[in-house]
Amino acid sequence: MPTHYTVRRFKPADMDRVLEIERASFGKDAYDRKLFAEYGRKCGGLFLLAEGSRTVDGYSIACVSGKYSNLLKLGTSVASLESIAVDPRARGKGAASSLLKSTVRRLKLQGVGRLTLMVRRSNAVALRFYERRGFTAVRRAPGYYEDGGEGLVMRLTL
């Protein structure tokens, strides 16, 4: 049964909980405190938390990058989904969907034209999640991950 999540911005007081979710989700590949602090400074308005009735169950980070231009979309910004993770005990209850939906809404309000992300090509669950939400694969990234795993760049036009 889906849980109702409130999506809100990250605050420094949330750091320990974010690190718990990160370690539970990514193990030895987990980001460290320093990198999350940098994301908080760089992407603050798009560093979001999914808060259930008792605790924060997930986070997502998107950052708006520079401008790209072509004849059709002059000056439209591009964003990258840097990370998204949900506590393993809370998966399948709607936290990731709530985070992604809120991220997309906020990006549209900022006039961002597309959202990109990198996903491990062997992560079938994540690939299905993104495809169901309209993302399409645009290119492979052989050897992207430290263990030699292949990445897949995906894109969503907003």
Question: For 129-148, what is each residue's pLDDT tens digit?
Answer: 999 999 999 999 999 988 89
Instruction: Say which residues have a Cβ less than 8 Å from residue 107's Cβ, sequence separation at least 6.
Output: 46, 62, 64, 79, 115, 158
Question: For 23-80, what is each residue's pLDDT tens digit?
Answer: 999 998 899 999 999 999 999 799 999 999 889 999 999 999 865 444 345 446 899 9
pLDDT of residue 76: 65
Cα 32 to Cα 9, 17, 118: the distances in Å are 19, 12, 19
- Window from 14-28, 60-74, 91-105 with minimum mean pLDDT: 60-74
Q: How far apart are CA 4 and CA 92, in angstroms?
A: 12
Say whether pLDDT at 11 is over 60. Answer: yes
In percent, how much of the chain has pLDDT > 70? 92
- Nearest Cα to Cα of residue 115 among 94, 95, 128, 101: 101
| Mean pLDDT to the nearest integer, 72-92 | 83
pLDDT of residue 66: 61
On average, the pLDDT of the chain sits at 91
Arch. (CATH architecture) of 6-111: 3-Layer(aba) Sandwich (3.40)
Binned at pLDDT 50, 70 and 90, residue 2 comes out as low
pTM of the model: 0.89
Q: What are the residue boundaries of the structural domains of the chain, listed by start?
A: 6-111
pLDDT of residue 147: 87
| Mean pLDDT to the nearest integer, 114-124 | 95
